[in-house]
């Protein structure tokens, strides 16, 4: 599925719709360049789970944990060197969570990702709109249309 959003609000609202389709145990790869909107999408997902606290990029903390209808783990592994460092921080436990995991910059641990990972790619267009591609589990298709 491919969606184009023109504003931050549209991107966050897409995250809300997408988040409402997620279930316990889901692992979501959020990919895109710096400033593409990965954390904006994560804010919408968190809102769909009833999370009211501010969602911020966990770039320096690596992991943020939120309590809602489901537990949400938001990882940003931009600063990690790769799979070895991810393993040494205990990252594997987040790949098969007791809640929902969002991983920014997951391409650094590609071979470790579960087969059921849902991949979200965000591209910035020349007009600053975003093209958002969602691949993997197809259960969300009707909810996002």
Q: What is the pLDDT of residue 91?
A: 87
Per-residue model confidence (pLDDT) at position 140: 55
Q: How many CB atoms lie within 10 A of CB 88?
A: 9
CB 143 within 8 A of CB 21: yes
Give CA–CA dist 79/132, Å, rounded: 24
Q: Which pLDDT does position 84 carry in this prediction?
A: 92
84/25 Cα distance (integer angstroms): 23
Beta-bridge mates of residue 63: 75
pLDDT at residue number 143? 53
Determine the Cα–Cα distance for residues 86 and 67; give it in Å rounded to an integer.
Answer: 23
Instruction: Quote the pLDDT of residue 46.
Output: 97
Report the pLDDT averaged over residues 133-139: 79
Question: How high is the pLDDT of residue 92?
Answer: 87
Mean pLDDT along residues 46-67: 87
| HSE (side-chain half, CA atoms, 13 Å) at 56 | 7
Q: Break the chain into its structural domains and give their ranges.
A: 2-144
What homologous superfamily is domain 2-144 in, according to CATH?
P-loop containing nucleotide triphosphate hydrolases (3.40.50.300)
Greater confidence (56 vs 141) lies with 56
For residue 68, pLDDT beyond 90 = yes
Q: Cα–Cα distance between 60 and 44 in angstroms, integer? A: 21
Position 59 pLDDT exceeds 80: no
- Whether residue 25 contacts residue 97, with contact meaning beta carbons closer than 8 Å, is answered with yes
15-29: pLDDT as tens digits: 999 999 999 999 999
Crossing angle of helices 38-48 and 8-19, in 10° steps, is: 50
């Amino acid at each position: 599925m491919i969606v184009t959003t023109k504003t931050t609000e549209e991107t966050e609202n897409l995250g809300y719709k997408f988040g409402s389709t997620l279930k316990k145990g889901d692992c979501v790869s959020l990919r895109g360049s710096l400033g593409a909107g990965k954390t904006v999408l994560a804010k919408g997902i968190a809102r769909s789970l009833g999370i009211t606290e501010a969602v911020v990029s966990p770039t320096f903390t690596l992991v943020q944990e939120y309590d809602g209808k489901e537990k949400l783990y938001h990882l940003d592994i931009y600063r990690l060197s790769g799979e070895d460092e991810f393993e040494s921080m205990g990252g594997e436990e987040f790949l098969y969570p007791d809640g929902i995991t969002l991983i920014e910059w997951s391409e650094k641990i590609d071979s470790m990702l579960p087969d059921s990972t849902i991949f979200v790619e965000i591209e910035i267009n020349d007009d600053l709109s975003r093209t958002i591609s969602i691949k993997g589990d197809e259960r969300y298709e009707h909810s996002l249309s």
